[in-house]
Amino acid sequence: MNNPTKVIAIDGPSASGKSTVARKVAAGLGYRYVDSGALYRGIAWKAADSGCDVARNEDVVAAMGRMKVEFFEEAGAIRYRIDGVEPRAEIRTERVSGLVSLVAAMPEVRAQVTRWLRDMAQFGDLVMEGRDIGTVVFPGADAKFYLDASPEERARRRHAELKPAGETADVNRVMDSLKNRDQRDSGRATAPLKLAADAQVVDTTGLNIDQVVEVILKRLDKPLSKSSPPLS
Ligand code: DC
């Protein structure tokens, strides 16, 4: 695929550090950041909120067909509203995290989200994070990174994120829930999480966010200049 704009794909499992890293890489390059998982989460949240059985493919597809989804650019990111509402904390709950991998396994949902993600190139150069960005959404991406970290490190990170969101969960339960999600994301028939043949792997275990951002920008041959936004 020949992209009219530049696309950097950042894929990897849950809590591998993709979101914060991708946001900072986008800021460092002056590109727009896209969180593709937030769209799957938004559909799961809205479908559940409208009373549909999120395990039933045809119910979710019908609910998605009724949703009015609009995209806009703000603060260096492409964001979206569903039926006029931009969902935020409500799509980050453990409940939505439990439902979203069911929704993300549905081929019709993936086809629609993939169309939306490809259309975002009209906003300009993108750093897009997800599970299938380098393999399915933008196989011709200008650069592809695959971030990973040990399961223990990922569970620790996710646990630390849940606390400020007001959710309490035991770290072992968080690890079980991540493992279940990894299995569903990697085992599904349509666009499973897998390493693109031409992706560069970055193991983020033991690295902080800024170190990972630096590794990526270096590999892109764009080390941070003094005028780049601060990394903290
Ligand atoms: O990155 P995240 O945890 O917010 O993703 C939420 C869910 O969406 C997760 O189950 C994986 C799925 N997902 C996907 O299947 N493909 C993407 N490109 C992004 C996320």
Domain residue limits, the chain: 7-220
The strand pair at 77-82 and 69-74 is best described as antiparallel
Which atom of ligand 1 is the closest one to the Cα of 101?
10
In angstroms, the CA 160 to CA 171 distance is: 9
Ligand 1 centroid from CA 227, angstroms: 33
Contact 178, 155 (CB under 8 A): yes
Query: Using a 6 Å cutoff on CB, does residue 41 contact ligand 1?
Result: yes
Q: What is the CATH number of domain 7-220?
A: 3.40.50.300
Which atom of ligand 1 is the closest one to the Cα of 137?
18
Per-residue pLDDT of the chain (232 residues; tens, 9 = 90+): 455 799 999 999 988 989 999 999 999 999 999 999 999 999 999 999 999 999 999 999 999 999 999 999 999 999 999 999 999 999 999 899 889 989 999 999 999 999 999 999 999 999 999 999 999 999 999 999 999 999 899 998 888 877 766 666 788 888 888 888 888 888 888 888 889 999 999 999 999 999 999 999 999 986 544 444 444 3
For residue 24, give both structure tokens: 């900072």
Residue in 125, 123, 100 with CA at minimum distance from that of residue 113: 100
Residue in 52, 170, 41, 56 with CA at minimum distance from that of residue 96: 41
Q: What angle do CA 113, 70, 35 make, to 5 degrees?
A: 50
The structure's pTM equals: 0.90
Ligand 1 centroid from CA 150, angstroms: 18
